[in-house]
């Protein structure tokens, strides 16, 4: 997992406020696309992506002001990565196509667990249901 963490950290370093703004504009469409993900080996992935998308929306729109920028940047990167059809493992590969997406999302959730747990609490969500497990 340390390689994935390094990958996420490096990529998140290139997320600028302009990129956050671009993602915010397409996020409603992406959220609909995420609901169509069928990944039985990664049953929490859709909920985790929805959680990250909501956190990005709330933070970028100013409704939630306590998410650290590095957590926002990592969440934005995870959403961009999950949206792309080709990653480390192409999404078209049966059963394994979402393994890399799940790993990236889990790395973001694990690294920013405190910040996201606070966000979840403020939103009235049970952090343990969001889980950082596949």
Where exactly are the structural domains of the chain? 2-130
Rounded-to-integer distance, Cα 128 and Cα 134, Å: 13
Q: Per residue in 92-133, pLDDT tens?
A: 555 666 778 889 999 999 999 999 999 999 999 988 888 755
pLDDT tens, position by position, 37-78: 887 778 898 999 999 999 999 999 999 999 999 999 999 999
What number of residues does the chain have?
134
Phi-psi region of 131 (alpha: psi -120 to 50; beta: other; left: phi over 0): left
Segment (H or E) for 73: helix 69-83
């Amino acid at each position: 997992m340390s390689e994935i963490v390094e990958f996420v950290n490096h990529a998140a370093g290139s997320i600028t406020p302009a990129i956050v703004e671009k993602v915010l504009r397409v996020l409603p469409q992406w959220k609909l696309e995420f609901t169509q993900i069928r990944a039985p080996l990664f049953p929490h992935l859709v909920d985790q992506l929805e959680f990250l998308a909501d956190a990005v929306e709330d933070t970028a729109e100013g409704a939630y002001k306590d998410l650290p920028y590095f957590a926002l940047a990592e969440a934005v990167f995870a959403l961009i990565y999950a949206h792309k059809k080709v990653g480390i493992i192409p999404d078209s590969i049966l059963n394994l196509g979402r393994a890399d997406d799940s790993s990236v999302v889990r790395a973001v959730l694990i690294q920013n667990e405190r910040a996201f747990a606070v966000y979840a609490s403020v939103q009235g969500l049970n952090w343990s249901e969001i889980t950082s497990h596949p």
